[in-house]
Structure 1
Amino acid sequence: MANNKTHLKNGNGSENGLKRELKTNQLTMIAMGCAIGTGLFLGSGLAISTAGPSVLISYAIGAFIVLLLMGCLSEMTVAHPTSGSFGTISEKYISPFAGYLVRYSYWVANVLAVGVEVSAIAVYMKFWFPDVPGFVWILLFAAVLIYVNATSVNTFATFEYWFSMIKISAIVGFILLGSYVFFGGSAQPNMGPENLVNAGGFLPFGWWGMWVAIFISLFSFLGTEMIAVTAGEAKDPDVAVPKALKATVFRLSTFYIITIGIMLMIVPWKSAGIEESPFVKVMELLNIPGASGIMNFIILTAALSAMNSQLYASTRMMFSLSRGNYAPAFLGKLSKQGVPLSALAISTLGIFLAAAVNALLPDSSYAFMMGISMFGAIFTWFMVFVSHLFFRKKWETAGGRKLPVKMLGFPYLTILGAVLLLSLMITTWFTGFKIMLQFGIPWLLFLSAAYFIFNKRRNNPEKNESDAILNKRVN
């Protein structure tokens, strides 16, 4: 039993070598930066137009699901602070197959998201430089962020910290400006709390609209799980991870609900998805010069921040796959700075894939890439809940150390989180988000087939012997 305790305490030794340099404030800002993306600044109108004013309930329930998720993730991450994170944990406590599915799904989700973000950056730069070809900006910003990720984890964290600071400052500024509009006497007749009940009441699309908008709200929180990935390079994961997770969920929930509430009171909900961004509208009401330019800069920063963190996450997940023998061994090698450069190189494929898919499928490339990207992230969240159900029982049975943080209400709240998330995923089949499952289910089938074919070949004695003979001849 003593060996078992030691093994559980130390986590997955196969991922050793990464440098533990990240501090608590850096972990918090990285997670918040990942979650605060262009969706809040530009796409918030979609959630509002789906649920009306009841979107406030949608975001509150979404935040509750994330709170449950972070509770489970915090406990498991403190026990196993590795870069493979939820993938390594799924492998250890459910099965190698489960860990394989989680890590590859999360890896491809981030790889594709990198491609989408870098393509969007080219569009944003046209605001200032309309005559410069988009590929120039794609190559320029891709080169800069690849360099940032290749240097050291501390360089990455520093850049992400300031990217996040800009976005968070923009949200705080919006809240203050919005409050000034109401309480400073700048409000117009069609603005105010009455917008929450006008035009069909608080639930204009009924409970169904509110329920569907919960799924949309979850997109705003995607990225908070990044803390678990960065835990493999955190200075003191026992203290830093729980503290960062709690702070992230609380701040994001507060920011989103207050921001959406102000949007609803300034812009009538029926025009939320049609008119200009509410952020720009508030700045124009206060006669702030260059409102559109300021907004474009903030959105550009949001895209760069998302791309930076997604490149980091996909790199660490491929590193974990390699160390787990599910990818070529060279992808698990580290540079002198403790960075998996080969894993970083292959994770940049999303940049080139985005350009290729856009050329081949110009009308559906965005939907195609986002479909798999969204599925991979949500599937990972669902597997966190499932993993926790296995983790707690096995950890206690094996005599694992007493952890500084523990998920409350186990197993009931863990099951509740899994059921809510699974129900929302199934709901997408009956909405305009059906594309997520249309691409996600075939993706899982493809991964499953590849896994069993790979394992069959790996466990074939005759094949292994012939490979050994061939290698001897080559060498």
Structure 2
Amino acid sequence: MGNKLTHLNKGNESGNGLKRELKTKQLTMIAMGCAIGTGLFLGSGLAISTAGPGVILSYAIGAFIVLLLMGCLSEMTVAHPTSGSFGTISEKYVSPLAGFLVRYSYWIANVLAVGVEVSAIAVYMKYWFPDVPGFVWILLFAGVLIYVNATSVNTFATFEYWFSMIKISAIVGFILLGSYVLFGNSAQPNMGPENIVNDGGFLPFGWWGMWVAIFISLFSFLGTEMIAVTAGEAQDPDVAVPKALKATVFRLSTFYIITIGIMLMIVPWKSAGVEQSPFVKVMELLNIPGASGIMNFIILTAALSAMNSQLYASTRMMFSLSQGKDAPSFLSKLNKKGVPLKALGVSTLGIFLAAAVNALLPGSSYAFMMGISMFGAIFTWFMVFVSHLFFRRKWEKSNGRKLPVRMIGYPYLTIAGAVLLLSLMITTWFTDFKIMIQFGIPWLLFLTAAYFFFKKGSNTHKVENDTNEILNKNIN
């Protein structure tokens, strides 16, 4: 016992009122559901138009960054499987201010990402109902998913599991169909690997276009960190969390790179964009009766699934903020089903923002919402790497228990991940995604001012002590 650090208990309760009901397959599907959304089905079009066929390299490098991130996150989450996840870890191992910034930044990222998904829903519904205003669909589907999130975590996980199954089955089907069209007996002369080097070559916009597209590709991977957020409600997190993280990264990397490669061989890259999903364009080009409508329905399901997961993530992060006394205490109240209903209510703000932006900027609402939502997510990922540098040193110094999973290549690969993310953030200032920095810097300054205004003197130490008590509760 002594001064050893340890994880929370593995019983049915997580130590903060949330129930440990999620299994490994549910954790994996929740993360897959959050990640496989508009970033792949709609955002891939934006990435292709930015990098051309070189987007394959962009997604490969993005997958490498995520692999490093998951390595760091696996180790820290197994040590501290709490609902606050990386926010709580940053607070303990870096500083209370760092934890405050990470929690609120991740919360706003998911709140705004919900807005990205519902903005995409408005695009998808125009396929069937071109004359209906987009904000009508935003409010309608938002109401359904708020209801799902207001029920028990098991109900949420069940919905997300089947949402994800539909998406994964669709991607596998797309890969099989595309492979048959390209390499089967019905192969067409205007389709094939040569399309990857036509129209300007593999890198028509040079290495710069490929580098910028890495940033867009990361949006497709956002959500993989959801497993760390759900750890506070996972059964046996020592086993479930690392296993789910590895499975998620492998599956996403494989799906994304193969899918985009097939897409580029079928559809000329110059036709990519965000006015319609590239997946639907492929189906229209293949002239399969009804296929484009079915694919549009599937990617609509993908957006709903990602929105469902992001509502969950933002709700749990606000719950954690309230428990850490960084938000009003009433936001940590649970209903009879164990759901922080009031935290859910606050976390729906992105939906109404998206509805307003869609009404004011119907042609560019998706790109705008994606730009402002990305800062909080990339900043959180960057802080995961920074926190890991502090965590490993302090964990070993305090003689913590031997963890079942450890980040390889420490500290060099941890530093490499942090440098890559920081470089990509700086890059956005010189692109059309400048809005990310324009939103992000004032956001961090505002949070820092709020922290020092509300957290003075002994109160800061009290919050730090409260966090340590939560992390070290139920010492073995």
State the TM-score, normalizing by the size of structure 2. Answer: 0.90
Q: Which moved more, 1:249-258 or 1:348-357?
A: 348-357
Per-residue deviation, 1:135: 5.1
Distance of 2:435 and 2:74 partners within structure 1 = 31
> In the alignment, is the contact (CA less than 8 A) between 2:334 and 2:340 conserved in 1?
yes
Q: 1:135 to 1:209 in 2, by over 3 A?
A: closer
Listed one character per residue, the Cα deviations across residues 12-45 of structure 1 (whole Å, up to 9, x for unaligned) are: 9996211001111111111111111123222312
Per-residue deviation, 1:281: 4.2
- DSSP 3-state at the match of 2:249: helix
Distance of 1:370 and 1:45 partners within structure 2 = 14
Q: 1:443 to 1:87 in 2, by over 3 A?
A: same
Map residues 67-466 of structure 1 onto 2, 5 A cutoff: 67-129=67-129, 134=134, 136-273=136-273, 277-284=277-284, 286-358=286-358, 369-456=369-456, 459=459
Name the amino acid aligned to 1:197: V
Listed one character per residue, the Cα deviations across residues 145-194 of structure 1 (whole Å, up to 9, x for unaligned) are: 12211111111011011111111111111100111102223222221111
> In the alignment, is the contact (CA less than 8 A) between 1:68 and 1:414 conserved in 2?
yes
> In the alignment, is the contact (CA less than 8 A) between 2:111 and 2:349 conserved in 1?
yes
Distance of 2:136 and 2:185 partners within structure 1 = 46
Name the amino acid aligned to 1:437: I
Per-residue deviation, 1:10: 2.9
> In the alignment, is the contact (CA less than 8 A) between 2:115 and 2:353 conserved in 1?
yes
Q: Which moved more, 1:394-403 or 1:451-460?
A: 451-460
> In the alignment, is the contact (CA less than 8 A) between 1:111 and 1:349 conserved in 2?
yes
Distance of 2:442 and 2:278 partners within structure 1 = 38
Q: Which residue of 2 is the match for residue 467 of structure 1?
A: none
Name the amino acid aligned to 2:260: I
Per-residue deviation, 1:117: 2.5
- DSSP 3-state at the match of 2:7: helix
> In the alignment, is the contact (CA less than 8 A) between 2:27 and 2:227 conserved in 1?
yes
Name the amino acid aligned to 2:93: Y
State the identity as a percent.
88
Listed one character per residue, the Cα deviations across residues 50-71 of structure 1 (whole Å, up to 9, x for unaligned) are: 2222221111111111000000
Q: Which residue of 2 is the match for residue 22 of structure 1?
A: 22
- DSSP 3-state at the match of 2:456: helix
Name the amino acid aligned to 1:8: T
Name the amino acid aligned to 1:341: L
Distance of 1:127 and 1:458 partners within structure 2 = 57
Aligned residues: 458
User: Which residue, out of 7, 23, 30, partners 1:9?
Assistant: 7
Distance of 1:459 and 1:46 partners within structure 2 = 46
Name the amino acid aligned to 2:307: M
Stretches of structure 2 lacking an aligned partner (at least 5 in a row): 461-476
- DSSP 3-state at the match of 1:9: coil
Which of these two proteins has the greater Rg computed from alpha carbons?
A: 1
Per-residue deviation, 1:391: 0.3
Per-residue deviation, 1:119: 4.2
Q: 1:341 to 1:458 in 2, by over 3 A?
A: farther
Per-residue deviation, 1:196: 2.1
Name the amino acid aligned to 2:394: K
State the TM-score, normalizing by the size of structure 1. Answer: 0.90
Q: 1:280 to 1:351 in 2, by over 3 A?
A: closer
Distance of 2:167 and 2:81 partners within structure 1 = 28
Distance of 1:147 and 1:41 partners within structure 2 = 25
Q: Which moved more, 1:367-376 or 1:167-176?
A: 367-376
Distance of 2:44 and 2:401 partners within structure 1 = 43
Listed one character per residue, the Cα deviations across residues 99-152 of structure 1 (whole Å, up to 9, x for unaligned) are: 000010111111122233334434533544556665554343222212211111
Distance of 1:373 and 1:11 partners within structure 2 = 34
Stretches of structure 1 lacking an aligned partner (at least 5 in a row): 461-475
Name the amino acid aligned to 1:211: W
